[in-house]
Amino acid sequence: MGDKVIFLADIQSFYASVEKVRNSEYKDKPLVVAGDPERRSGIILAACPLAKKYGIKTAETLWEAQNKCPDLVVVRPHMQTYINVSLAISKIMEQFTDLVEPFSIDEQFMDVTGSQKLFGNEFEIAKKVQQKIMNDTGVYARVGIGKNKILAKMACDNFAKKNETGIFKLNETNMEQLWKLPIGKMFGVGQKMEKHLQGMGIFTIGQLAKFPVGLLKKRWGINGEVLWQTANGIDYSPVTVKTHNQQKAIGHHMTLPRDYTNLDEIKIVLLELCTEVARRCRKKGYMGVTVSCGVRGASFDFPTGFHRQTTLPVASNYDLDIFNAAYQLLKQFWDKQPIRSLGVSLSNLQPSDNYQIDLFENYLRKEKLNSVFDAIWDKYGRTAIYRASSLTKAGQASERARKIGGHYK
- Please spell the DSSP secondary structure of 380-405, one letter per residue: H-TTSS--GGGGSTT--HHHHTTEET
**Is residue 387 packed enough to be buried (19+ CB in 10 Å), middle (13-18) or exposed (0-12)?**
middle
Residues 6+ away with beta carbon under 8 Å from 298: 259, 337, 338, 339, 340
Please tell me which residue in 19, 107, 265, 272 is annotated as part of the active site.
107
Answer yes or no: do 266 and 308 share one domain.
yes
Domain count, the chain: 3
User: Distance between CA atoms of 175 and 304, rounded to whole angstroms?
Assistant: 44
Residue 168 forms part of a structural domain:
no
Digit-coded pLDDT (tens) for 308-338: 999 998 888 888 899 999 999 999 999 888 8
Q: Is residue 225 domain-shared with residue 80, that is, in the same domain?
A: no
106 is in an annotated binding site: yes
Q: Do 196 and 311 fall into the same domain? A: no
One domain for residues 262 and 211: no
Taking 60 as the threshold, does the pLDDT of residue 98 lie above it? yes
Flag whether 157 is in a domain: no
Judgement on whether residues 27 and 85 belong to the same structural domain of the protein:
yes
Mean pLDDT of the 132-150 span: 96
Question: DSSP class of residue 185?
Answer: G
Q: At what angle do helices 263-284 and 319-333 cross, to 10 degrees?
A: 140
Residues 133 and 195 reside in one and the same domain:
no
Over residues 232-238, the mean pLDDT reads: 92
321 marked as part of a ligand binding site: no
pLDDT of residue 40: 46
Tell me, yes or no, whether 119 lies in a domain: yes
pLDDT at residue 71, rounded to an integer: 92
Which residues span the domain enclosing 329?
249-408
Contact by Cβ (8 Å): 270, 277 = no
pLDDT digits (tens, 9 = 90+) for 176-218: 999 999 999 999 898 889 999 999 999 999 999 999 999 999 9
Q: Checking DSSP bridges between strand 141-146 and strand 167-169, what pairing results, if any?
A: parallel
Q: Do 200 and 322 sit in the same domain of this protein?
A: no
Q: Does residue 276 have an active-site annotation?
A: no
How confident is the model over 322-378, as pLDDT tens digits? 999 999 999 999 988 888 889 999 988 888 776 555 555 566 666 767 676 667 766
Query: Any idea what the CATH number is for the domain that residue 342 is in?
Result: 3.30.1490.100
Do 211 and 324 reside in the same domain of the chain? no
Predicted TM-score (pTM) of the model is 0.69
**Segment 110-136 mean pLDDT:** 95
53 and 121 in a single domain? The answer is: yes
Query: Is residue 311 assigned to a domain?
Result: yes
